[in-house]
Structure 1
Amino acid sequence: MEKSSILLNTPRFFTIREINENSPNWFKQHSDNDYTEIIYIQQGCGEFIFEEKPFMGQEGDLIIFHPFSPIEGKSCIDDPLKGISICFSNLHINGNDKGWLTDPTDFPIIHLLEEKNEIHNYFHAILREYDLKHSGYQYVISSILQAVIIKITRLLKNTNHHSVSPVCLEVKKYIEENFRQELTLNDLANIVYVSPYHLSHVFKDEVGLPPIQYLIHCRIEEAKRLLKHSNLSVREIASIIGYENPNYFNLLFKKMTGSPPGKFRRMKT
């Protein structure tokens, strides 16, 4: 198989598995394994620690475990992580002596935006090939895996996908824990002692969305979860996530998801 200009050789696929709500206490340490693991989070969230610094992974995130990397993680109890884990070895990237996807000092997380559907399809295609094991499945998996790795290296070259700095990480975590409250850009900037202008620009560069848009994203994701897993009314859900005006919530939810809340609930049941 012809090697790409990015990959110096063919990565050696090891295994792929699903992480789901059937294992709510999923816990992972990755400090003594000589392979790379990538977790794609489909829904829910996980709590991770990298070099004694905590961070959250949620729907649409890729978490990268490098060989011998000091990282550990566990599923959130109230919103269990559901995702797919791919393990492989023999990763050698052109221009990178260690062969790691990210810099060893960077937080090992990538927040997917418009690329989420493409990565989702890649992971599911590998999982399907691995489960069915039709003739030549190893070659199909190898080809798709290489495409995934090349895609990730492209994303990391894009300034919108750099790893998250401590300032943005703290604000991101604060939003994820307090999105039900009324928060302004000034409130968030005061938490990390920077100007609102600086926070707005840096946060968008590193996370992919401005802080208030990320706040809305967290609210809508929680609304989707409640619509799927509770019997609360749309009005009650709107109030819980911070919108006292249910009509405004309906319009915003439709704008963000393409469907009004009631229709979304019927589609998911």
Structure 2
Amino acid sequence: MAYTHVQTFNPEILYAFDPLNEAGNYSKTHSHNFLEISILLEGEADYLVDGERQDLGTGTVMLFNPGVKHAERQKEGTFSHQLHIGLTNLSLNGLPRNHFPNKRALLDLGCYADAFMEKAWRVTKEFNEQRSEYQLMGKGLILEMLGLLLRSLEDGSDNTIPLALSQTAVRQQHLVNHAVYYLENHHSEEITLEQLAQQLFVSPAHLSKIFKETTGLSPIHYLIHVRLKHARELLKQEEWTIKEVAQAVGYQDAYHFSKLFKKYYGTAPSQVAKEQRTV
């Protein structure tokens, strides 16, 4: 089966970083409210994964769904070079939002392992070097990695859970996916809840209820998130004024935009621009 719909599948990369862990390094047992992929590029590490302690080596791939507890420590005389990728806004057909269909976090990629690791190293290179369009290149590689993970899970694996959503929930999922797609691609325009609902042929009340149940945000608050996320990237990358950035993401009032931005990120847009331009 196809887990993705190409038009609306657009996960957001929260982070991609590759720490070099030396003996004594550890992280306490924790979980996330998003999806995380952890890859041992080199070395070895002691992980609490799937409920037990395991010594894992180079080439190990783990995929932690939201709420799955895990921890790690670096034993004496060992090191590890790892890549961690955090993802949200990820929706697969028939599954809860931000979930993959794996029963266990520890994955066996089989014949896809070499291709997956090659792309993991390329992601590491892109995010470390930060050359022109590194985020686009990195996202393209991560999308390919997600495709390989899904193929490995579907190829006769016993590590795949059955579809967890009812037909009604699947229809609601598709509605939210199309709403998110519209907001992502029209965020610079004037959008009201009524206009969005009209585009999707549902009532505003129904859309608002289903959207918040699925994402935790109202459609309008999600729109604000999208706009400010794009604004932050523009402030980091472009020599634009605050007013120009505000207008580019859909705000005609630069003062209102600045207040929203500071409330959301804890810092003024002018400070983000200043820090970027002094690097």
**Cα contact 2:41–2:121 (8 A) shared by 1:** no
**Cα contact 1:7–1:92 (8 A) shared by 2:** no
Structure 1 residue 160: deviation in Å?
5.0
Residue among 117, 120, 124 paired with 1:123: 120
1:147 corresponds in structure 2 to 144
- CA deviation string 1:5-46 (max 9, x = no partner): 37952111122222325x333323463533222111123222
* Change over 3 Å in CA distance of 1:125–1:55 after alignment to 2: same
- CA deviation string 1:114-143 (max 9, x = no partner): 433211221122222222323322222222
- Cα distance in structure 2, aligned partners of 1:43 and 1:78: 14
2:132 corresponds in structure 1 to 135
1:63 corresponds in structure 2 to 62
**Cα contact 1:40–1:61 (8 A) shared by 2:** yes
Alignment of 1:119-268 (within 5 A): 119-160=116-157, 162=159
- Cα distance in structure 1, aligned partners of 2:157 and 2:79: 27
* Change over 3 Å in CA distance of 1:161–1:41 after alignment to 2: farther
- Cα distance in structure 1, aligned partners of 2:24 and 2:92: 34
* Change over 3 Å in CA distance of 1:124–1:35 after alignment to 2: same
- Cα distance in structure 2, aligned partners of 1:129 and 1:42: 15
- Cα distance in structure 1, aligned partners of 2:125 and 2:50: 34
* Change over 3 Å in CA distance of 1:83–1:31 after alignment to 2: closer
The amino acid of 1:150's aligned partner reads G
The amino acid of 2:46's aligned partner reads E
The amino acid of 2:9's aligned partner reads N
SS state at 1:34 partner: coil
The amino acid of 1:61's aligned partner reads T
Greater C-alpha Rg:
2
TM-score normalised over the length of structure 1: 0.51
**Cα contact 1:60–1:112 (8 A) shared by 2:** no
1:9 corresponds in structure 2 to 9
- Number of aligned residue pairs: 158
* Change over 3 Å in CA distance of 1:67–1:43 after alignment to 2: same
TM-score normalised over the length of structure 2: 0.49
- Cα distance in structure 2, aligned partners of 1:32 and 1:83: 18
Is structure 2 residue 76 aligned with structure 1 residue 77?
yes
- Quick check: 28-37 or 142-151, which moved more? 28-37
The amino acid of 1:77's aligned partner reads E
Is structure 2 residue 49 aligned with structure 1 residue 36?
no
Across the aligned residues of Structure 1 and Structure 2, the Cα RMSD in angstroms comes to 2.8
Percent identical among aligned pairs is: 12
* Change over 3 Å in CA distance of 1:108–1:102 after alignment to 2: farther
Structure 1 residue 77: deviation in Å?
2.9
The amino acid of 1:17's aligned partner reads F
**Cα contact 2:50–2:104 (8 A) shared by 1:** no
- Cα distance in structure 1, aligned partners of 2:106 and 2:7: 21
Gaps of 5+ in 1: 164-269
Structure 1 residue 68: deviation in Å?
2.6
- CA deviation string 1:163-221 (max 9, x = no partner): 8xxxxxxxxxxxxxxxxxxxxxxxxxxxxxxxxxxxxxxxxxxxxxxxxxxxxxxxxxx
**Cα contact 1:8–1:94 (8 A) shared by 2:** no
Structure 1 residue 148: deviation in Å?
0.8
* Change over 3 Å in CA distance of 1:112–1:4 after alignment to 2: closer
* Change over 3 Å in CA distance of 1:112–1:60 after alignment to 2: farther
The amino acid of 1:131's aligned partner reads N
